[in-house]
Structure formats: C-alpha cells, structure tokens
Amino acid sequence: MPSRGIISVDVEDYFHVQAFADMVDRKTWLSYPSRVEPNTERLLGLFDDFHIKATFFILGWVADLYPRLVRRIVAEGHEPACHSYWHRPIFALTPDEFREDTERAKDVIEQAAGVRVDGYRAPSFSITERSLWAFEVLAGLGFRYDSSIFPIPHDAYGIKNAARYPTCVKTPSGSIQEFPLATLRCKGVGNLPVAGGGYLRMLPFWYTRAGVHRLWGEGLPVVSYVHPWELDPGQPRLNGSVRSKLRHYTGLKGAETRLRNLLSLGGFTSFRDSGYVRMPASVVSAKAVSR
C-alpha cells in the first residue's frame, strides 16, 4: 500500500533563495558564510529520530562544493534528487539553458552520490504555465518523476488549476510522473497550501494537522517539503523587500518543532519508498497540466 505522506528537503543555503536573488548575485555566493552542511546534518538527525527516510532535492552547486554531504545523505538511506544547479527560475531560462543547467546538476549529484537520480524539483516551484515545456526536457534527460507544481495562485509560482493528485505527463520525449505539492480544495476559495515550507512555519499547526487528515481522507498523498535554512534562526540576515523578509524569516524559531509535529502524524517517507513512483496514474499532456 502506498505511503500516506512524502517528506522532501530542498538542499540549498540561505543565500540561494529566490526571495533575495535581486540582492545576491550568484557570482558572489562563495563570499557568504555557508551553513548548508550543519543545517542539513541537523535534518538528518531529526529524520533519524523518527526512523524516516526522505528525498533530498540537492542543488548542484551544493553537491559540487560539498560532495561529502551528498555521500552522507545516501549512506544514511535517503534518496538523492535534483534541484537544478544555479537555482534559477525555469520560466526565466530558454529550453537549452534549462537542459544545460539540469544535465550539469544531475551529473554532479550522481557523481557524488554514486547512485542514479530519478527525481527533480524546480527552484521556487517554477514549472508554471510559462514553462510547461520543461517536462519534455526532464523526460529526455531520464528523470522518472518531478515535484515542481504548486496548484495554488501565487505571485511568484503556481498553477492554480493544476491537478492536486499525481499524474503521468506525456511528452514527445517520453512520460514523467508529476507529484504536486499538498493543497486543500475549499469551495468558493480554491486551493490552499498545507504542510510545507513557509506554510508550515507561519500557519497554525491545527490547520496543518486538519489539512493532513483531510488529504488522507481524500486518499491523496501529503507531499511536504522543508529547507535546511528553515531550521536555522541564527542565519545571517540579508537585505531585501519587506515581503521577502517576512516570507523568509517568519517562524524560523518554531520551525523544527512544527516539523517534528508534522512527522509525528506518521506515514512519511521518500518518493522512492512511497510506492507511488511508476504507479498507474491519470495520463495527461503537458499542455493539459494547467487545465
């Protein structure tokens, strides 16, 4: 029987996030004090407390600089996956630029991990209606599944009418499974996010718990996510817009407790071990994803 929940980690540092991309040039990344290793190791310890195996969507840049961290993730039984190389929104790239970035990231992660990488997650969930062509590139590069679509309206990402359940997307280069992030369907309101990232940090936990149980009642897997920097309230503060700072820094002090409470609900594992990858699913074309 498939798992009820999937827990994933987007392995990136605090200065990689899109919220501060207009303030932090990627050419200067090496000048920032990195905290990705100890923060990811903290997550590894937390997952060990719950005897949980997770999927780690690793930034290629991180894998290049910290291959030992990638090896530890794999050695502890977790699944390595790809989170791009340079953390650029897909809709800001050409198909060729996206293919080059993704192929480079996949290769460096596999070299460090010593195992095949099957999964992909776009930076900032940037497979949107403007970048549905990315599915063909991913299928052509041999990825088996993607988890980049957030079926919500949002100013920076999201496809509000996308399916809330796993689908199999057909492209000229082959098929790839899509696992959308967890949302609740509310009549008269639309889809609401639940159980991941800033939504886990900022929304009351009674809402998260109720949302998770409702999704389980619908028979849908709860696809959740966290970033290593979210468990690091002492991280250096970056300048940015009020909106960006609110989104990035709100709730950091309580994030680990919220994550532990989420995992205590039970049933969480990696994409690889969930039983969903390559299960029969509704088959749609890439163009139909946003309908």
SS (H, E, C) the chain: CCCCEEEEEEECCHHHCHHHCCCCCHHHHHHCCCCHHHHHHHHHHHHHHCCCCCEEEECHHHHHHCHHHHHHHHHCCCEEEECCCCCCCHHHCCHHHHHHHHHHHHHHHHHHHCCCCCEECCHHHCCCCCCCCHHHHHHHCCCCEECCCCCCCCCCCCCCCCCCCCEEEEECCEEEEECCCCEEEECCCEEEECCCHHHHHHCCHHHHHHHHHHHHHHCCCEEEEECHHHHCCCCCCCCCCHHHHHHHHCCCCCHHHHHHHHHCCCCEECHHHHCCCCCCCEEEEHHHHHC
pLDDT (average), residues 68-81 = 98
Average pLDDT value for the chain: 93
What Å distances lie between residue 85 and 46, 58, 106, 140, 218, CA to CA?
26, 9, 8, 18, 36
Q: How confident is the model at residue 195 (pLDDT cuts 50, 70, 90)?
A: confident
Domains of the chain: 5-26+34-290 (3.20.20.370)
User: How high is the pLDDT of residue 279?
Assistant: 62
pLDDT tens digits for 198-236?
999 999 999 999 999 999 999 999 999 999 999 999 999
Q: For residue 180, give the nearest of 208, 119, 221, 137 by alpha carbon.
A: 221
Lowest mean pLDDT segment, chosen from 130-144, 148-162, 229-243, 250-264: 148-162
pLDDT tens digits for 99-130?
999 999 999 999 999 999 999 999 999 999 99
Q: For residue 79, give the nearest of 229, 280, 276, 274 by alpha carbon.
A: 274
Radius of gyration of the chain (CA): 17
Pairing between β-strand 190-193 and β-strand 167-171 as defined by DSSP bridges: unpaired
Q: How confident is the model at residue 280 (pLDDT cuts 50, 70, 90)?
A: low
pLDDT tens digits for 53-72?
999 999 999 999 999 999 99
| C-alpha span between 93 and 80 (Å, rounded) | 24
pTM for the predicted model, two decimal places: 0.95
How much of the chain, in percent, has pLDDT values that exceed 70? 96
